[in-house]
Amino acid sequence: MTNSTRAPSNILIFDSGIGGLSIADEVTQALPQHPIVYIADNRLYPYGRQSDDALLARAKTLFPALERHYQPAVIIIACNSASTLILDEVRAITRSPVIGVVPAIKPAADITQTGQIGLLATKGTISRKYTLDLISEFASLHEITKIGSDVLVSQAERKLHGYAIEEMLIEQELAPIIGNTAIDTVILGCTHFPLIKQEIQNALGNKIHLIDSGEAIARRAAHILSTSNQQLPLNSPLPAHTFIFTAENNQVTKLAPALHTRGFFTIEIGNH
């Protein structure tokens, strides 16, 4: 990893892999003038399969080091599996404002007309107490059909690496929702899933409203930067973003086109 320190206007986006690029897309649209440092903690990928103790221990080691090195104006944990577990811990051990990405239960409960909601997430997010508490608080009167899916994660990964999407696998994974015609709202509760939003929409049909947290996260980041007087002028030069893996990745060449189109022209392998 380089030893140079980025400007205080950095937005640090953290995920176990590349799913958080969906959040980076929204942040770039809302704050195009701000440089993004994206950390892909592939050393422990995927987070959805790690124990709670392993993720908490990783957070205590990693986030203080990232904050010291990059001095971000804001940290975004762009992973539902991580946010539903380590968000409070990261806030306690860092000084930068920290935004977590959690399933959009409340917005879905507000817009559903039938009271029938689908929740797509990783298996870890589906079962975590944080998610169940969100459902209890904001959607206790609604019926939630939960699908914990590794298949959809792998399909999003395939797409970003330039491989063809396997539409039949997506349809099979979404069968419990497709078979329930009362469901009118589906939550994309994993940051990978907006990356294949159109493919999911094609499988479910246009009558189902898909909702995720991306735009809300970008608005929150913009608000934090504005109130802390760290929001750069909109006419600032467009920055080059930096993408960092925490371990070797032999798929970097295949991933590079998807990163370049998003403004990530520096791709590094870190030592965290």
Beta bridge partners of 143: 116
Which of 79, 108, 109, 255 is an active site residue? 79
DSSP state of 47: G
Rounded to an integer, what distance in angstroms lies between the CA atom of residue 211 and that of residue 94?
Answer: 30
Number of other residues whose CB lies within 10 A of the CB of residue 238: 11
Active site annotation includes 79:
yes
Sheet holding 11-15, edge to edge: 98-100, 74-77, 11-15, 36-40, 241-245, 264-269
Rounded to an integer, what distance in angstroms lies between the CA atom of residue 239 and that of residue 32?
Answer: 8
Rounded-to-5 percentages of helix, strand, coil across the chain: 45, 15, 35
Whether the Cβ atoms of residue 189 and residue 120 lie closer than 8 Å to each other: yes
DSSP 107-134: HHHHH-SSSEEEEEE-HHHHHSHHHHHH
Active site annotation includes 190:
yes
Q: State phi, psi for 161 to the nearest 5 degrees.
A: -90, 5
Which of 190, 208, 211, 259 is an active site residue? 190
| Chain position carrying tokens 């929001």 | 231
Token representation of residue 94: 């860092």
| Chain position carrying tokens 């860092």 | 94
Number of other residues whose CB lies within 10 A of the CB of residue 210: 18
- Helix-helix angle 80-93:129-138, to 10 degrees: 100
* Residues recognised as catalytic: 79, 190
